Chains A and B, each alone.
Chain A
Amino acid sequence: MSLIHKTAAELGRLVASREASAVEVTQAHLDRIAEVDSKVSAFLHVDAERALEQARTVDERIANGDRLGPLAGVPIAHKDIFTTDDMPTTAGSKILEGWRPPYDATVTRRLREAGLIILGKTNLDEFAMGSSTENSAYGPSHNPWDLSRIPGGSSGGSSAAVASFQAPLSTGTDTGGSIRQPAAVTGIVGMKPTYGGSSRYGLIAFASSLDTPGPFARNVLDAALLQEAFSGHDEFDSTSIDAPVPPVVEAARQGDVAGLRIGVVKEFGGEGYQPGVLARFHETVDLLESLGAKVVEVSCPTFGYALPAYYLIAPSECSSNLARFDAMRYGLRVGDDGTRSAEEVMALTRAAGFGPEVKRRIMLGTYALSSGYYDAYYGQAQKVRTLISRDFEAAFHQVDVLISPTTPTTAFPIGERADDPMAMYLADLCTIPSNLAGNAAISVPCGLADEDGLPVGLQIMAPVLGDDRCYRVGAAVEKAFTDRWGGPLLSKAPAL
């Protein structure tokens, strides 16, 4: 088996035992990028020289007898919304084109400390606003299963990179589903940790009460290893949880659901859901029962209002956060001809530098926060948020985890929803409640839809700081399906 098809855990072991060098592993992935990324467009920036330099350092340290972590020497693709002091950081926006941040995000720093090799920065919907990467100012990424379709979003470059074997691991951020939805539609694993479990320091803010960094991988154990590598308390993020990281790696190795109580969310299914998605989901419910889990239906009555509440809360926070792009201290400046005022330059710059979806959300948020509308929109949405958390609390009294399809449909064609924001927003229908409540949730592959042969994801939701339960159930599903399919789902993907 070639190096690019190995798991991250195997690569880490090969490098540690010096059966393969980090330089060889890195070069193999750089060669793959050179071979296929002209078709996939997962990366906005690749720095081969810097990656090989990092790999040489890891090899030297191992030769010197340093004991490094389990992912030392393993390449990773990094979402271009985390600051990196040695690479540009654009957030998929023209307003930050060519910007080189003066500091590393905490997630970036921890990847480096763990000896992971950052290959480059991946494409995303501008400022993580979108479900397809079509809102990137640098063009869309493509789904490796069918290049005419979206790889999900906003972290679509990261999902496409991992699904096309350009990297065994990647980072993402999940504000309304931006890790789980891209993982589902590309047939890989994507995890949204508990809010506050992974640091937002150096993550360019979209909606600060929702934004959560998390891992992508081709299997559950690799995702757990990556989450463990970059998680934990960070004093530079005031919402970081000062508690031990849940035992995610142990849970991913355990993968057992016997006696576990699993709730199927009654509100997610039926009209608007693709039949092939529901068929694979119901098959997975049967599988979990056959593995010894007790499956019951659970009602979460407020979940039907999560989408409208989210599209008031997230734009409100975005309208405030994106005020920092003012053309004064960094980024684009347009129209500064010596006659215009700072305010005029600001408005011209923002009009030129932001794409349509970002403008829509800034104006929507400004509207929801304006005096006279605040109580009816933002205030009411915050109350709905409380009720969604209460629905989760009540559900987790009855069951250990909740499950649903990750997305209502498989990957849609590029262009299909590009100028229909409401249709685009529906892609996050099932993922948003966990962002509003801050609990952990993962997507793992559960098969291919009959009508289009495209991947379907199973979402597993666990309580706040119950991240290990997501991995435990995810690993059990993965093992059972891999046995049934005779290999991982991605082995069925067409060659690029």
Chain B
Amino acid sequence: MSAITRDEVAHLARLSRLALDEGELDHFAAQLDQIVGAVARVAEVAAGDIPPSSHALPLTNVFRPDEVRPCLTPQQALSGAPAVEDDRFRVPRILGEEA
């Protein structure tokens, strides 16, 4: 039985904002099925009451002083932008036509 289906891969591609073509979906479905099958081995470890680690080091709530410091100028911040208008990032429409 497959660990992951082609339809699931198409769904994952949508969630991941990746406009994949049909050929890519077929290719990735086979590979992801193999990879998911292999990594599912973690289930063999008896770890019911073991606390999860999100990080190697136990650090929490690291803050630095809340003080005003020099930062990027608008020109620096916009220097890599694909499109700029009036010192702002210009982006494609984000709302539907009817909105």
CB within 8 Å of B: which residues of A? 99-103, 195-196, 209, 235, 238-239, 241, 302, 305, 308-309, 311-312, 319, 323, 326-333, 336, 338, 340-348, 350-351, 354, 356, 359-360, 362-364, 366-368, 370, 376-377, 379-387, 389, 421-422, 436-439, 464
Question: A438–B44 Cα gap in the complex (Å)?
Answer: 23
The answer to whether B32 touches A360, judged by C-beta atoms less than 8 angstroms apart, is: yes
**Contact yes or no, A364 B35, CB < 8 A:** yes
B56 CB–A CB distance under 8 Å: yes
B50–A387 CB distance below 8 A: yes
Query: Contacts A308-B40, A363-B16, A367-B12 known; A209 to B80 CB distance under 8 Å?
Result: no
- What mask results when residues 40 to 67 of chain B are scored 1 for a CB within 8 Å of chain A, else 0? 1111110100111111110100101000
* Contact between B47 and A311, CB atoms less than 8 A apart: no
| Cα(A387)–Cα(B68), bound, Å | 43
Would B81 and A363 count as touching, CB distance under 8 A? Answer: no
- Docked Cα-Cα span, A364 to B4, in Å, equals 10
Are A341 and B93 also in contact (CB < 8 A) when A311-B35, A331-B80, A359-B20 are? yes
Smallest CB separation, A443 vs chain B (Å): 19
Contact of A312 among B14, B20, B39, B77 (CB under 8 A): B39
Contacts of B92 in A (CB 8 A): 336, 338, 340-342, 344-345
From A238, A312, A421, B62 is in contact (CB under 8 Å) with A238
Q: Give the CA-CA distance A386 to B18 in the complex, in Å.
A: 33
List 14 contacting pairs A-B, 8 Å CB cutoff, sorted by A. Answer: A102-B79, A103-B76, A239-B62, A305-B44, A326-B17, A328-B89, A350-B17, A354-B18, A363-B9, A363-B16, A366-B12, A383-B53, A385-B53, A389-B53
Please give, as numbers and ranges, the residues of chain B lying within 8 Å of A363 by CB-CB distance.
9, 12-13, 16, 18, 28, 32
**B62 contact set on A, CB distance < 8 A:** 238-239
Q: Cα distance A329–B18 when bound, in Å?
A: 18
Contact A239 B59 (CB under 8 A): yes
A389 CA / B52 CA spacing, docked (Å): 11
Q: Of the candidates B45, B54, B57, B91, which one forms a contact with A305 in the assembled complex, judged by CB atoms under 8 Å apart?
A: B45
Report the tally of A-B residue pairs with Cβ distances under 8 A. Answer: 179
- Chain A's closest residue to B55 (CB) is A209
**For the complex, is B38 an interface residue (Cβ under 8 Å from A)?**
yes
B34 CB within 8 Å of chain A? yes
A421 adjacent to B31 (CB under 8 Å): yes
Tell me whether chain A's interface is mostly helix, strand or loop, or mixed.
helix
Rounded to whole angstroms, the CA-CA distance of A315 and B96 in the bound complex is 32
- Residue of chain A at shortest CB distance from B79: A102
How many angstroms from the CA of A376 to the CA of B40 in the assembled complex?
8
Q: Which 6 A-B pairs have the closest CB atoms?
A: A438-B56, A330-B80, A382-B52, A333-B82, A383-B47, A102-B76
Most buried by A among B20, B42, B93: B42
With a cutoff of 8 Å between Cβ atoms, the chain A residues found around residue B56 in the complex are 195-196, 209, 389, 436-439, 464
User: Complex Cα distance A422/B34, Å?
Assistant: 8
With A and B bound together, what is the CA distance between A100 and B77 in angstroms? 11
Query: Cβ of B41: which chain A residues have Cβ within 8 Å of it?
Result: 305, 308
Q: Given contacts A363-B28, A364-B32, are A383 and B94 in contact (CB under 8 A)?
A: no
Whether the Cβ atoms of B52 and A385 lie closer than 8 Å is: yes
CA separation between A389 and B53, bound complex, in Å? 9
Determine the chain A residues whose CB is within 8 A of the CB of B20 once the complex forms. 351, 359
Give complex CA distance A421, B12 in Å: 18
Is A348 a contact partner of B19 (Cβ separation < 8 A)? yes
Query: Within the assembled complex, what's the spacing in Å between the Cα atoms of A2 and B92?
Result: 56
Q: How far is the CB of B25 from chain A (nearest CB, A)?
A: 10
Contact A380 B45 (CB under 8 A): yes
> Quick check: A386 and B50 within 8 Å, CB to CB?
yes
Of A99, A343, A380, chain B has the most CB atoms within 10 Å of the CB of A380
| A330–B92 alpha-carbon span in the complex (Å) | 14
B15 at the interface (CB under 8 A from A): yes
Contacts A239-B57, A382-B53 known; A342 to B39 CB distance under 8 Å? no
- Whether B57 and A366, one on each chain, are in contact in the complex, defined by CB atoms closer than 8 angstroms, is no
Least CB distance, A328 to chain B, in whole angstroms: 5
Does A362 lie within 8 Å of B18, measured CB to CB? yes
Measured between beta carbons, the chain A residues less than 8 angstroms from B76 are 102-103
Contact assessment for A309 and B42 in the assembled complex, using a CB-CB cutoff below 8 Å: yes
The interface residues of chain B lying within 8 Å CB-to-CB of A383 are 45, 47, 50-53
CB-CB nearest in chain B for A208: B55
Q: Is B1 an interface residue, CB under 8 A from the partner?
A: no
